Structure 1
Amino acid sequence: MSGRARVEARIATLGELGEILGSMKTLAAVEARTLARLQTHQAGVSAVIDTASRAFWQHYGGTLLPDAGTPVTLAVGSERGFVGDFNRRVAAAVPAGAPCLTVGRRLPGRLPAGVPMVGTLDGPVVADEVEPVLTATLAAFARFIEGLGPPRITAVYQVPGGVGVRQRQIFPPSPEPPAVHGAGNPPLLNLSPGDFLRELLDYHLTAALRDVVLSSLTAENEQRTQHLDAAVRRLDERRAALRRRGQALRQEEITEEIEVILLGETALAPLHRE
């Protein structure tokens, strides 16, 4: 195979890679729109729960769980690649000493040495997988509670919009105390304050976990899109360079062909004179 043929074959291969990367970018964009809708809905749900928590805190604050319990970290990484140092940055923010539950199979290998592990769960790849991940995470925490009692959960995860890694206590909730405790009429409860609190905590934890996983998956898609954009630019630059190389090789071939023709004409010139 000539040099120009090898260059053309390489250009064709890069073209196929470009089509694959383009498809991946399209899928990431579609997923980003889906996640944006889910986050908008989740923000509304969280606002309702926060409002109920503040009202309950205002009148029944003495029955809320204290900020105590066994510390445990929920670290959320990525399940797929093309995200650069996404998992490394999450792992670097995981506090040492506290047991850690990881979401995303690429994350555990990047955790600092000595971090005790509660378990590792598959992370979501697309938005449709968020709810199964939540179910598995809640089940893992239920097992943790059976063994070690009520936890104090700190989530470590990436936040979209270029914010980076965030550490956030998601359980037990810590609503802001009211300016005037007990002001106004207490909310009407169909349950006892204790039973209502248990239900409220379940809703709060589920909503907080959903927000964490959605935020992480959105940030993951953002970083993947950025890396794919950079990869497409590098690929286009490489294809352009190869095209220039191919044109140069073609010019060399044409020059060689002309030289051969001229040499042939020179060799035949005496015969023509005869």
Structure 2
Amino acid sequence: MTHRHALEQRRTQLSEAQEIMESMKSLAFMEVRKLEQRATMQRALVDTLEQVAADFLHFYPDFHAWAPPEATIYLLLGSERGFSGAFNGRLLEQLADEPGAEQARLIVCGHKLHSRLKDDPRLLASLDGPSVQDEVQGFLLNLLERISQEQRKSALTIKMISHDPAVEQVRVEYLLPPFQTLLNTERSDLTPPLLNLPPRAFYAELVDHYLLASLNEKVCSSLQAENHYRMLHLDGAVRYLQDRLDRMRLKSNQLRKEEITEEIEVILLSADSVRPGNDTV
């Protein structure tokens, strides 16, 4: 009976863990939906700013010339929390495949990813990443401040490695210099833009707005992908626990049957001992 009671106690503990994981999975699902909407809006803003930049650079191509970079920095958007499966591992696999990554410096976002790179000599800085959508804005301010610090030191190239939930892949994109995908675009249907600012001031503000919108979209998309990974990971864990609970329930039922059999045997033996003619006094 002691063994069955211990088994039932363990079943209760696993059931509670399963309920917690189900709640975490539901929260991850809600975050995915909220982040999907925000990332879509930011993506539309990024597309608009890229169109403006393409029109502007068609008539002012000299602004596409940047100083030769003295260093390359990889910005990795990892996970702040656990239960995200292979989310961080895939970022590191992509980093290992990047040409020249051995000599680059790293800015790592997310506690869980930082724990895997804390002893890497390339690590330049680590930042706490957002856990939910409401923390994205504060994280962006910290990240932009860190990027500005590095820009003030020297000319540099920044590449971002992050998850793209739209294609379910890890993407590598230029953050600085900006508008790299617009380099070789041919346009013949444009008229010169009418600017209310000097071209240099206009382009500086355009780059600032673009970096903020682009980072906002990428961070939201990364957090969306992270929560999707978390949903899949927790779903697998919940199913594993359910399988264990089912097997434990069968084992508990078997032990209970054995206990009932033993109780019947004890009752029968007790009945035999009090029958007439079996008096041992």
Query: Same fold by TM-score, threshold 0.5 exceeded?
Result: yes
**In structure 2, distance between residues paired with 1:12 and 1:108:** 35
- AA in 2 matched with 1:79: E
Structure 1 residue 116, shift from structure 2 partner: 2.1
Q: Is this contact kept in 1: 2:7–2:252, CA < 8 A?
A: yes
Does 2:121 align with 1:107?
Answer: no
Conserved? CA contact 1:100–1:115, under 8 Å: no
Q: Distance in 2 between matches of 1:254 and 1:11?
A: 21
1: CA distance, partners of 2:197 / 2:166: 41
Q: CA deviation at 1:118?
A: 2.3
- Partner of 1:31 in structure 2? 31
Residues 176-215 of structure 1 mapped to structure 2, 5 A cutoff: 176-180=183-187, 183-215=189-221
**Is 1:221–2:227 an aligned residue pair?**
yes
Residue identity opposite 1:152 in structure 2 = T
Matched, 1:250 2:256: yes
Q: Aligned to 2:123, which of 117, 120, 128?
A: 117
Which amino acid counterpart does residue 102 of structure 1 have in structure 2? V
How much has 1:112 moved relative to structure 2? 9.5
Alignment partner, residue 81 of structure 1: 82
SS at match of 2:173: strand
d(CA) in 2 for partners of 1:55, 1:112: 43
The answer to whether the Cα contact below 8 Å between 1:154 and 1:167 also exists between their aligned partners in 2 is: yes
Please tell me whether the aligned partners of residues 97 and 115 of structure 1 are also in contact (alpha carbons under 8 angstroms): no
Query: 1:155·1:212 contact (CA, 8 Å) conserved in 2?
Result: no
- Aligned letter for 2:158? I
Contact kept, 8 Å, 1:14 with 1:239, in 2: the verdict is yes
Measure, in 1, the Cα distance between the counterparts of 2:272 and 2:25.
Answer: 59
2:63 alignment counterpart:
63
Contact 2:42 2:214 survives alignment (8 Å): no
What is the TM-score with the length of structure 1 in the denominator?
0.92
Q: Which whole-Å CA distance do the structure 2 matches of 1:67 and 1:213 have between them?
A: 27
Does the CA contact (< 8 Å) of 1:97 and 1:114 recur in 2?
no
- C-alpha RMSD over aligned residues: 2.2
**Conservation of the 8 A alpha-carbon contact between 1:83 and 1:224:** yes
Percent of aligned pairs with the same amino acid: 36
> Structure 1 regions of 5+ residues with no counterpart?
none
Three-state SS of the structure 2 residue aligned to 1:202 is: helix
Note the residue ranges of structure 2 that are not aligned, 5 or more in a row: 96-100
Matches within 5 A, 1:86-97: 86-94=87-95, 95-97=101-103
Structure 1 residues 272, 115: closer, same or farther in 2, change over 3 A? closer
Aligned partner of 1:53 in structure 2 is 53
Alignment partner, residue 277 of structure 2: 271
CA distance in 2 between counterparts of 1:205 and 1:118 reads: 21
Q: Match of 2:224, as an amino acid?
A: T
What secondary structure sits across from 2:112 in the alignment?
coil
Deviations 1:127-176 (A, max 9, x none): 01111111111100111011123x21100112225623221112212215
Note the C-alpha offset of 1:77: 0.5
Select the residue among 150, 156, 160 that pairs with 2:161: 156
1:16 corresponds in structure 2 to 16
Question: Deviation at 1:52?
Answer: 0.3
Alignment: residue pair count = 272
Report if the CA contact (8 A) 2:36-2:221 is conserved. Answer: no
Bigger relative contact order, structure 1 or 2 (CA pairs below 8 A, ≥6 apart): 2
Distance across 2 between alignment mates of 1:111 and 1:164 = 21
Name the CA distance, whole Å, in 2 between partners of 1:24 and 1:224: 9
> Separation in 2 of the partners of 1:47 and 1:80?
31
AA at the equivalent of 2:19:
E
Contact 2:39 2:218 in 1 (8 A): no
1:35-79 CA deviation, whole Å, 9 max, x = no partner? 011011111111110110111121111222348423211111000
- Give the Cα separation in 1 of the matches to 2:67 and 2:161: 18
* Alpha-carbon separation, structure 2, partners of 1:114 and 1:232: 35
